[in-house]
Amino acid sequence: MDLDDSGDALMDDSEVMSSTEHSGLPTITSGGSSTGLAGTGGNGDTFSSSLSKPGNSPKPDVFDQHLTGLKDAPRPPKFRNLPYASLQTGLVYDVRMRFHVELFPEEVDVHPEDPRRIYAIFEAFVEAGLAWRDGVSNLDPSYYMGRIDASQVTEEEVRLVHTKAHFDWVQSLSTKPADDLREEEQHPGSKMDSIYLSPATPYSAALSAGGAIEACRAIMLGKVKNAFAVIRPPGHHAEREDAKGFCFYDNVSIATKVCQREFGSSCRKVFILDWDVHHGNGIQQASYDDPNVLYVSLHVHKKGTFYPESSYRDNRPPYGDHLHCGEGPGLGMNVNVPWTAQGMGDADYLYAFQQVIMPIAQEFDPDLVIIAAGFDAAEGDMLGGCKVTPAGYAHMTHMLMSLANGRIAACLEGGYNLDSIARSATAVVKTMMGEQPDRLVNTTPSRTGIDDVKLVLRQQSKFW
């Protein structure tokens, strides 16, 4: 896709802002519990759903037409006898997540975590006829993805994963002058790790985590069959009390714990599949001793020399190797597939799925699947150096859709080539909407890939 690199990073999609989004920067809720899917329509009217209050059981037979105030809000199933197949795929996208920007950008070197990342994906959805936009798409929005409003995550929800000190520090950024933010350190004496800050960072981060929650919540309530959350800043590197690697809140882990709390036995077991090219250290930390969260990460590791290894404030040894399998009641629930080299492609990833990931996931039998959907293993990404094609991502998605009765949420993580992430995300969404994946060109895994997967298989055979 052709994006104008010279365009303003905030205003390219002003038409979306005026028709479907809020304006202004309200203050994040600092306490209280989630009250369900709520927001403001394009006409300024407020709306809310009370179906998802903590303690209430979801009522899949009652479809709330006031889920959002948008014209492209999710519709009920078209056919009573095909309730899943005739439901829409959900979409979370909010232009306000682009307010998190570099205050002192380099003139030549654009930061990889570019605000245009989410715009590129949304535009690709619109151009492919998957997402509806007033004045651009056809008149009937019921054939597109159903739009789900992103809410701001609350302090209570954040603290299911992070400490109060971490939440307070993120919130404090909104009141600090630009010069102070340039020199800011979350922990005095420790420089920030691959992070830029702005006064709008707390707001965008709150929407990102809240967007992940609302995507998962809409699925569990039966409003959509599955969902894609186009969110930023990403989250899987954020640890209990550390913002790092472009991440502030661990979006996927927060959404997991919120849904476990709200939906009880109907969402007891959650499978998180992380295909971002970097290890999701934050997700691993958040779920390491949890017997009800299966975390599987495929990532370049290079024997402990690839980010985020060697970047930790506590100087820990390699954290994303195949030997980290969980602890206590969560022993066996952490599965790392660490590639010893870059350059892995479709065949390597599919081999790992067939040999390790799907057999373990089927035995685990989850109630919900969440993809930490980073696209920096895609062909063309400047950081990942791997060769996964859009068809490869589609095939992985197709296999995951066989789990949890199809309840699957994809939440954007990394991916820094605008064209690659747009094409890859589009392939994933088409599969989620019911299209079959394109054929793979190469189905023979590399020798290195086979060796890496067999190493994991031997380790995990102790638990599965």
Residue type, 444: T
Strand pairing category for 368-373 and 146-147: unpaired
Measured CA to CA in angstroms, residue 406 lies from 219, 230, 433 at distances of 10, 19, 11
AA identity, residue 69: G
Q: With contact defined as beta carbons under 8 Å apart, do 319 and 279 qualify?
A: yes
Neighbouring-strand partners of residue 271: 294, 369
Structure tokens at 99: 């307010």
What is the residue-wise DSSP string for 329-342? GGTT-EEEEEESSS
Instruction: Please report how the helices 251-263 and 201-220 are oriented relative to each other, as an axis angle in degrees rounded to 10.
Output: 40
Query: What are the b/e assignments for 305-324, b being 16+ CB within 10 Å?
Result: ebbbbebeeeeeebbbbbeb
Q: Which of 22, 162, 237, 278 is catalytic?
A: 237
Q: Which one-letter DSSP state was computed for residue 43? A: T
Please confirm, yes or no, whether 237 is among the known catalytic residues: yes
> Helix, strand or coil for residue 146?
strand
Cα–Cα distance list, 210 to 41, 303, 403 (Å): 17, 35, 24
* Alpha-carbon 289 to chain mean position: 22
- Where in 262-375 does DSSP place strands (E)? 270-274, 293-300, 334-339, 368-373
DSSP symbols for 177-223 = -HHHHHT--SBTTB--BS----TTHHHHHHHHHHHHHHHHHHHHTTS
- Do the strands 270-274 and 293-300 form a parallel or antiparallel pair, or are they unpaired? parallel
Whether 299 and 276 have beta carbons less than 8 Å apart is answered as yes
Could you write out the DSSP letters of every residue in 414-440? ----HHHHHHHHHHHHHHHTTPPPPPP
The residues that are catalytic are: 237
